[in-house]
Amino acid sequence: MRIIDIVELFINHNIKKEVRSLKLGDMASVRSGLVLARKISRVPTKYRYPLLNLRSIAPEGYIDTVNLDVFDAVEQLAVEYLTQKDDVIIRLSSPYTTVLIDDETTGMVISSNFAIVRTDNERVSAEYLFWLLSTPNVKRKIFENTSSNMLGAIKPKFFADFEIEPLPLNKQIEIATINKLARRESFLLTELAKEKEKYHAAIIERLHDEMRKECGV
């Protein structure tokens, strides 16, 4: 059983306390990103920022900084349109990937392709919310909401009105910690698989070269 499955079981079976459904918009600020056309400069300026784009949001839920664009603005941008630590950023088109901003991914321009969720940390853990919005149950609700939309896009208001049953903050932190460990484990396993693939390829190639020499090819 994967660690992420253990998290689901922990919530479904081990936490008995009754909780009241609340709209996410009552516990966090939810808004769309910047409409780039309003602030873009066609020539380089001193107001140059890294720009989140759809390619830079990896399906696994992290920002691939190699794929960031550069955005030249006509003026200094308001901080509300720049990534801040513990922001939860949600892609508004399929596959509706969610990412959590950390120290290394702050200061990036967030375009209108994304929703920005900034939590009240005394009520909702950003890392917990990041996990929650990435769960299959929430993804299913998003797909159901966009089933009649040919473009498959969803509006930030969906998340503002989205009802959740928040656990006590200490329990949220427990879930967030387990999820962080699970993601770290998945990352390490993926990296190990990549290294093993390189290793096996090198072994096979070397064996092939030795066989060619033996056969006089």
Contacts 24+ apart (CB under 8 A), 37-44: 39/73, 39/74, 39/75, 39/77, 40/71, 40/72, 40/73, 40/74, 41/72, 41/73, 41/74, 43/72, 44/72
- Where does residue 33 fall: left (phi above 0), alpha (psi -120 to 50 degrees), or beta otherwise? beta
SS3 (DSSP) at 110: coil
What pLDDT band is residue 39 in, cutting at 50, 70 and 90? very high
**Cis amide prior to 44 (ω within 30 degrees):** no
Amino acid 47: pLDDT: 95
Amino acid 161: pLDDT: 92
DSSP of 49-74: EEE--GGGEETTTEE-GGG-EEEEBS
Amino acid 214: pLDDT: 84
Distance CA 79, CA 108 (A): 10
Which region among 120-134, 138-152, 197-211 has the lowest average model confidence (pLDDT)?
138-152
Residue 96, exposed/middle/buried by CB under 10 A (0-12, 13-18, 19+)? buried
Give mean pLDDT, residues 179-188.
Answer: 85
CB of 118 closer than 8 Å to CB of 79: no
Task: Extract the tokens encoding 78.
Answer: 């308001």
What pLDDT band is residue 16 in, cutting at 50, 70 and 90? very low
Q: pTM score, two decimals?
A: 0.77
Give mean pLDDT, residues 181-187.
Answer: 84
Amino acid 217: pLDDT: 73
